[in-house]
Structure 1
């Protein structure tokens, strides 16, 4: 991998519970993400933003709201990611809701390479539409694994189906796991590094995840910002953890990414569920996020410069 980095904006909240996440890619750029990446040593190819879709109710499709928009956003992401992979570039995808990871995985599979996914999220996203309360961003991994009840419109986006096998996925930090999801994790022996283990020693947990991922040709890292404690860093789409203050601190997430993104086979980072409307001070919040990302990516660009 060279020090070339493709940046893709996926301004969609189609799969979410409410609007806001579609504003994040523009906010990242407005607050200086691209210059920060360039200062870190990356040769950035900014592909701009894909078509924007703001969440809206979909009463005629209550189990899979805005399915068509979710599919089209993932398909567009897949095309850009596939081209970046073919040209040996690392990829940073700015979401948008979690369903954009379907496109990242589909793009990474373009040439038959083996793909592993470290999924950093407060949720497991292993629900199928019947158990997801209508929001498809709760179903991303279920569609990657093509679980019973998955929709062909999403599970069939890649060159192979299923996109991934259970052994290709590592859950990292999920702490809001539904009963059906817990059964799926157990039955399929999906690896899961739990939140208390990460909180106890973020570096050790990240090292464990990095070791898990070394066997793949391409390692993808997905970050749903709701893995952060909302009361400490209120910028995620999901506010339901707020009262308990459950989650990682920004500094802990930074320590994790410092290690994961240094894996020699790391190829893509996805940031999802960032909602600028939830930040009391948008400039300060994005400044902190961008500084954390640039720091995590710095050693990689420097090594390949």
Structure 2
């Protein structure tokens, strides 16, 4: 498939420095050449803000609009838009371009950080720590509304993967709800609504323990177990193991 390789070498309003130096480094290292070598026709587009006055906020949202327009043009030309960006929040423009095609867009966001801060809770005022929050419509709504075709995504259409350096908890206690059909049906189906894949028992235990290490688990519930789907009692025993583990979580 032909590729439109977009580069936006900006970091917090500064050109080609820190993370903003990344796109240029990847291009110098042969990003386009690798795509050509695998048979893709590559068109390169360098993006920049529309104005010469490069204040961070103005530059950020001008770049989002530029990304959206360039990605939309790529789609219209039958090309796959691929973005090399210094700032994470520019993904909002890529989402907008997909929305402009009339598609219902899902977002898989892989990041060590949540990027879910908003100006009201971020004392460091780090705009790029607010990127996913922008996509979800939690902040900067007036500015993101200027990005062509952008509509905030519903949370059920977004998955955050890999986050491990998160902000301090914003809750004093957590309730842990476990629908037993979260487990892999290879253990045993929990009920008549069991879906393919699912989590191994060890992963569910690890999630519960990791949660308790950050915020006390004040209560928990195990739900939706239909024993007629578990004649050998395998999921029953898994649930009892979890129940025992929940009772021994740290306060």
Equivalent position to 2:35, from 37, 48, 67 = 37
Equivalent position to 1:114, from 95, 98, 104 = 104
Contact 1:22 1:52 (C-alpha < 8 Å) held by counterparts = no
Correspondence 1:51 to 2:48 = yes
Deviation at 1:45, TM superposition (A): 1.4
The residue aligned with 1:26 is: 24
The residue aligned with 1:177 is: 166
Deviation at 1:144, TM superposition (A): 1.2
Cα 1:182–1:6 change in 2 (3 A) is farther
Measured against aligned partners, the alpha-carbon deviations of 1:65-92 in whole angstroms (never above 9, x if no partner) come to x111100111101111111122332121
Deviation at 1:151, TM superposition (A): 4.1
The residue aligned with 1:92 is: 82
Contact 1:14 1:70 (C-alpha < 8 Å) held by counterparts = yes
TM-score of the two chains, using structure 1 as the length reference? 0.50
Measured against aligned partners, the alpha-carbon deviations of 1:206-226 in whole angstroms (never above 9, x if no partner) come to xx79xxxxxxxxxxxxxxxxx
Equivalent residues in 2 for 1:185-264, closer than 5 Å: none
Cα 1:103–1:176 change in 2 (3 A) is same
For residues 46 and 180 of structure 1, what CA distance do their matches in structure 2 show? 42
Contact 1:155 1:161 (C-alpha < 8 Å) held by counterparts = yes
The residue aligned with 2:133 is: 142
Contact 2:111 2:161 (C-alpha < 8 Å) held by counterparts = yes
Q: Cα RMSD between the aligned structures?
A: 3.1
Larger Rg: 2
Equivalent residues in 2 for 1:146-161, closer than 5 Å: 146-147=137-138, 149-154=139-144, 156-161=146-151
Q: Which has the higher contact order (CA 8 A, sep 6+)?
A: 1
Cα 1:166–1:84 change in 2 (3 A) is same
For residues 52 and 160 of structure 1, what CA distance do their matches in structure 2 show? 18
Q: Secondary structure at the match of 1:8?
A: strand
For residues 109 and 102 of structure 1, what CA distance do their matches in structure 2 show? 10
For residues 167 and 28 of structure 1, what CA distance do their matches in structure 2 show? 33
Higher helix share: 1
Contact 2:145 2:151 (C-alpha < 8 Å) held by counterparts = yes
Cα 1:19–1:135 change in 2 (3 A) is farther
Deviation at 1:35, TM superposition (A): 1.0
For residues 112 and 106 of structure 1, what CA distance do their matches in structure 2 show? 10
Structure 1 gaps, min length 5: 59-65, 187-207, 210-305
Contact 2:49 2:59 (C-alpha < 8 Å) held by counterparts = no
Contact 1:81 1:91 (C-alpha < 8 Å) held by counterparts = yes
Cα 1:179–1:150 change in 2 (3 A) is farther
Q: How many residues of Structure 1 are paired with residues of Structure 2 in the alignment? A: 171
Equivalent residues in 2 for 1:225-304, closer than 5 Å: none
TM-score of the two chains, using structure 2 as the length reference? 0.60
Structure 2 gaps, min length 5: 176-196, 199-251
Cα 1:182–1:125 change in 2 (3 A) is farther
